[in-house]
Amino acid sequence: MTRRPYIVGNWKMHGTRAMLSEARAIDRAAQRHMKVEVAIAPPYTLIHAIHREAEQIAVGAQDCHQADGGAHTGDVSAAMIADAGAKFVILGHSERRQMHGESDALVRAKAESALAAGLRIIMCCGESAETRESGKAVAFVKRQLKASLPPADAMPADVAERLTIAYEPIWAIGTGTAATTDDIAEMHGVIRALLVDLFGPEQGAEVRILYGGSVKPDNAAAIFAVPDVGGALVGGASLTADSFMGIALAASEPFEN
Ligand code: PEP
């Protein structure tokens, strides 16, 4: 691949200010691995603090509301997280889709709002175990992604810069069992073809497609060797600098996707 591998930590609902030391350690280590783009998405409450201190890593959010503002108690807009220092937002994570009932249309509205606020987006997609077992994983992911992404004419011209896809099979998230490299290769190939179809051969070929689901330092190199894998979205293993940067290290070895 022509672009730097992108390794993003999703801290989920983990982390108080005591975790800032871990963010500092990740930032220091990232300065030694400049061939890799490293970023973390902490809870909202830590975005500004990490943004103020970080010299190398980007900080992002795990969600945003689709409206610019208004009577939405407890919600946070894209402009607010950008103001706090976020450079990107993760959207359509399966935990949002499942636990908060987020539909594809809602995820798409959030994406449009985030892009309008100048943020980069990481759009998640992925099938359940039942869908995979029924042989419908590819069709499901294609449909989910197409319905969750803004149409090409609503995307900024630099699509590949502003959009990242994360393929995260639900059954692999937090289970310790990553998808096989064959399954990852198949799905990333399908997603690449869809991106080329939606955004044209130049932009579509350059959008990074991350794999997410039980990525650890010991399986990362094999996953990064799969064609069309442009990095990883990492949950559990992003919570300590040691394991997260072990994954970043695996991405800094030459890989030609
Ligand atoms: C995630 O939730 O985005 C994720 C990939 O989690 P984990 O790495 O813990 O499977």
Judging by beta carbons within 10 Å of its beta carbon (0-12, 13-18, 19+), is residue 25 exposed, middle or buried? middle
What is the rounded CA–CA span in Å between residue 250 and residue 58?
Answer: 19
Q: Does domain 6-236+248-252 have CATH number 3.20.20.70?
A: yes
Catalytic residue (one of 95, 168, 188, 206): 168
**Which residue is closest in CA terms to ligand 1's atom 2?**
235
- Among 94, 99, 229, 234, which is best to mutate for testing ligand 1, by the most ligand atoms less than 8 A from CB? 234
Question: 124-161 pLDDT, tens per residue?
Answer: 999 999 999 999 999 999 999 999 999 999 999 999 99
* End-to-end Cα separation, the chain, in angstroms: 4
What is the rounded CA–CA span in Å between residue 105 and residue 216?
Answer: 32
- Helix (H), strand (E) at residue 37: strand 37-41
What is the rounded CA–CA span in Å between residue 141 and residue 170?
Answer: 11
Whether 247 contacts 215, CB under 8 Å? yes
* Neighbouring residues of 254: CB distance < 8 A, sequence distance ≥ 6: none
Catalytic residue (one of 93, 95, 188, 206): 93
Rounded to the nearest 5°, which phi and psi values hold at 167?
Answer: -90, 115
213 lines ligand 1 (CB under 6 A): yes
Asked whether residue 255 carries a pLDDT value surpassing 80, the answer given is no
Look-up of token digits 């399986």:
219
Question: 158-183 pLDDT, tens per residue?
Answer: 999 999 999 999 999 999 999 999 99
15 lines ligand 1 (CB under 6 A): no
What is the rounded CA–CA span in Å between residue 219 and residue 32?
Answer: 21
145 lines ligand 1 (CB under 6 A): no
Whether 257 contacts 227, CB under 8 Å? yes
98 lines ligand 1 (CB under 6 A): no
What is the rounded CA–CA span in Å between residue 244 and residue 237?
Answer: 6
Paired with 60 in beta bridges are 88
Q: Percentage of the chain with pLDDT > 90?
A: 96
Distance (Å) from CA 164 to ligand 1 centroid: 16
Cβ of 72: how many Cβ atoms within 10 Å?
A: 11
For ligand 1, what atom is nearest to the CA of residue 238? 8
Q: What's the pTM?
A: 0.97
The pLDDT value recorded for residue 254 is: 62
What residues does each domain of the chain span? Answer: 6-236+248-252
pLDDT band at 3 (very low <50, low <70, confident <90, very high): confident
Q: Is the dihedral of CA 2, 186, 63, 150 positive or negative?
A: positive
178 lines ligand 1 (CB under 6 A): no
- The structure tokens listed for 141 are 């992911």
84 lines ligand 1 (CB under 6 A): no
Over range 97-117, report the average pLDDT.
Answer: 98
- Among 173, 184, 243, which is best to mutate for testing ligand 1, by the most ligand atoms less than 8 A from CB? 173
Q: Is 93 a catalytic residue?
A: yes
